[in-house]
């Protein structure tokens, strides 16, 4: 009788262990929640809908995800003053003009997220973040993706996620149609399962944001309207 009891307990523990190991480890990537992209901080490239309530919602959701045990990573746009994506570095050009840069379309932005300026600061409690991945430091190349710049130079993102054993990433932030899109798509390419949370993200323009959502869906990314801890586990 006693041996049966031990057998049963060991079997149950092995089943639980196997189930726990089968659950894929989840990480969270909060994209570019920085002063210059927000109305809240009167940013130079303030995206629609980025008031204080939005930042509070992102902070609250991020706290819940961290409490659920998921490591939180943030990306940070971090440009030198002479960055090629700033219209001010192209005489005769104005904000939102599009030029060819290394053969690709490049939107010319107002100067934003300049290294060591207040507008470049991440608007989340630093204690929430396991790692911050900076991007866009090369003056010659833009870098919407948290994984690599437009010249193909990789950031540490993939290395960090691999080291932490992450298999699935939850992505949200600013901007839906630029850095969230590029980061989520590159995560798919790098082999991660990806969940994007729509209502925790804001886009530069409605039409490009809708296009980005459709494109992400077509690449197998699960789009959730709102944060849902159950759906994140099962999707
Ligand atoms: C971004 C434009 C320029 C973004 C960054 O975070 O989506 N957009 N740099
Ligand atoms: Zn930028």
We report the CATH number of the domain holding residue 160 as: 3.40.50.850
Q: Which domain holds residue 153?
A: 27-77+116-234
Q: Could you tell me if residue 11 is inside a domain?
A: no
Residue 135 is a catalytic residue: yes
The active-site residue out of 36, 135, 158, 186 is 135
Q: Could you tell me if residue 210 is inside a domain?
A: yes
Q: Could you tell me if residue 64 is inside a domain?
A: yes
**73 in ligand 1 pocket by Cβ < 6 Å?**
no
Using 50, 70 and 90 to split pLDDT, how confident is the model at 231? very high
Retrieve residue 3's tokens: 């041996």
Of the listed ligands, the closest to the CA of 84 is 2
Residue 113 is a catalytic residue: no
Q: Are strands 98-101 and 104-107 parallel, antiparallel or unpaired?
A: antiparallel
- pLDDT score recorded for residue 23: 79
Q: Could you tell me if residue 108 is inside a domain?
A: no
Q: Could you tell me if residue 105 is inside a domain?
A: no
Share of the chain above pLDDT 90, in %: 90
| Phi and psi, residue 114, nearest 5° | -75, 135
What average pLDDT does the structure give for the chain?
94
Q: Could you tell me if residue 199 is inside a domain?
A: yes
Q: Could you tell me if residue 66 is inside a domain?
A: yes
Number of domain units in the chain:
1
**36 in ligand 1 pocket by Cβ < 6 Å?**
no
Q: Could you tell me if residue 84 is inside a domain?
A: no
Could you identify the atom of ligand 1 that is nearest to the CA of residue 77? Answer: 5
Taking only the tens place, the pLDDT of each residue in 24-77 is: 999 999 999 999 999 999 999 999 999 999 999 999 999 999 999 999 999 999
Taking only the tens place, the pLDDT of each residue in 203-224 is: 999 999 999 999 999 999 999 9
Cα–Cα distance for residue pair 202/14, rounded to 1 Å: 44
Residue nearest to atom 4 of ligand 1 (CA): 179
The whole-model pTM stands at 0.92
Taking only the tens place, the pLDDT of each residue in 77-122 is: 999 999 999 999 999 999 999 999 999 999 999 999 999 999 999 9
CA 195 to each of CA 167, 208, 234: distance values in angstroms, whole numbers, following the listed order: 11, 19, 11
Q: Are 202 and 49 in contact (CB under 8 A)?
A: yes
């Amino acid at each position: 009788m006693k041996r049966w009891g031990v057998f049963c307990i060991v079997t149950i523990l092995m089943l639980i262990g196997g189930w726990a190991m089968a659950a894929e480890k989840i990480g969270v990537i909060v994209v570019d929640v920085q002063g210059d992209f927000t109305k809240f901080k009167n940013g130079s490239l303030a995206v629609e809908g980025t008031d204080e309530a939005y930042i509070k919602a992102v902070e609250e959701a991020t706290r819940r995800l961290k409490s659920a045990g998921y490591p939180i990573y943030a990306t940070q746009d971090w440009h030198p003053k002479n960055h090629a994506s700033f219209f001010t570095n192209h005489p005769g050009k104005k904000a939102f003009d599009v030029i060819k840069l290394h053969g690709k379309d490049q939107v010319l932005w107002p100067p934003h997220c300049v290294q060591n300026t207040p507008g470049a600061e991440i608007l989340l409690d630093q204690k929430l973040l396991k790692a911050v991945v900076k991007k866009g430091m090369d003056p010659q190349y833009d870098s919407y993706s948290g994984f690599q710049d437009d010249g193909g130079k990789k950031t540490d993102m993939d290395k960090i996620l691999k080291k932490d054993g992450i298999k699935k990433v939850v992505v949200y932030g600013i901007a839906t149609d630029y850095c969230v899109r590029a980061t989520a798509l590159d995560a798919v390419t790098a082999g991660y399962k990806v969940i994007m949370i729509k209502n925790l993200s804001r886009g530069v323009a409605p039409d490009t944001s809708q296009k980005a959502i459709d494109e992400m869906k077509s690449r197998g990314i699960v789009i959730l309207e709102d944060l849902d801890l159950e759906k994140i586990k099962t999707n």
